[in-house]
Amino acid sequence: MFDWIQQLADWLVFELLKLKSGDHLAEALNFFIYDSIKILLLVFVIIFFMGIVNSYFPVEKVRNYLSRKKLYGFEYLMASLFGVVTPFCSCSSVPLFIGFVKGGIPLGVTFAFLITSPLVNEVAIGLFIGLFGIKTTIIYVVSGVLLGTISGIILQKLKLEKYLSPWVKQVLENSQKETEQFEAAHTSLKDRLPSIWKETKTILMGILPYVLVGIAIGGLMHGYIPEGFFEKYMGKDNWFAVPAATILAVPMYSNASGILPVAQVLVSKGIPLGTAIAFMMGVVGLSLPEAMLLKKVMTLKLIAIFFFVVTLCIIISGYIFNIIF
């Protein structure tokens, strides 16, 4: 399906620029051109499609649905699924957290939504399809949803409300669920398309620098790092590779568009897929900047528990990926 992109990249690098096949620069540039065009096309299509879906599930309706419906234990799964169609980066966590708390949603359900949302969204799905294929994308989406669901259940069972900041406790005490129901959406898809198209362009332009920088880093690694370079220390035989990759990711911060191209090259250079994905999940879902933001609404103890539970689930996901692949 993407043969024409590869042919275009080959023509630009080897015919137009006269670079020799096998040279480090030629291989890096060929990788950058091919992946940039392929990924941006896929991301555009996925963002537009998910924009249609998201137009029917704005975050206010999500909050209202989760706070009003009796889901008989499935609210954690529903919150994670809503996280897939309502994309937010981890730095949006504080306003979302406050909004969900005001809506009377249990803390564990809120966590389930906030964990899944930055990990599994239209950008991540588009990138995954382009970089790893449909099968791996489906497994990643399922694992991301399960990660949010299981983490949310664990965090709810721990009864952590006492570790919220005093301000949030006050919000919980004073909050009353809104009584008005959201009106059913009667706007036709045709009338929604202009705003969806505008939002698509906004998201695409917002992630474009991250995508290009991520692919550029991946291209340099692809062209200059020899095959199997990482296998000695990060191979499947090294049981500590997945925890190490996850823990090392915490001090970093990026979104999926910036880190996924790097993860793809890590895999091509010998790092197992599960280890690379654990690293990516750690970068996207856990970060020091996020911890600093969460300090406004949580005590340090709650932040530590939250990070520990999510880190543990990410590590387990990494091991499972390595077993499957």
Q: What is the pLDDT of residue 1?
A: 65
DSSP 235: S
Q: Higher confidence at residue 224 or residue 68?
A: 224
pTM over the 0.75 mark: no
CB atoms within 10 A of CB 21: 10
Q: How far apart are CA 98 and CA 224, in angstroms?
A: 46
Q: What is the pLDDT of residue 230?
A: 65
pLDDT tens digit sequence for 265-281: 888 888 888 898 888 88
Residue with tokens 């981890």: 90
- Domain assignments of the chain as residue spans, ordered by start: 19-173+190-324
pLDDT tens digit sequence for 121-177: 777 888 888 888 898 899 889 988 999 999 999 999 998 888 887 866 775 566 544
Residue with tokens 């898809």: 189
Q: What is the pLDDT of residue 215?
A: 81
Q: What is the pLDDT of residue 184?
A: 44
pLDDT tens digit sequence for 229-247: 666 666 677 888 899 888 8
Residues 6+ apart with CB under 8 A from 14: 20, 21, 26, 30
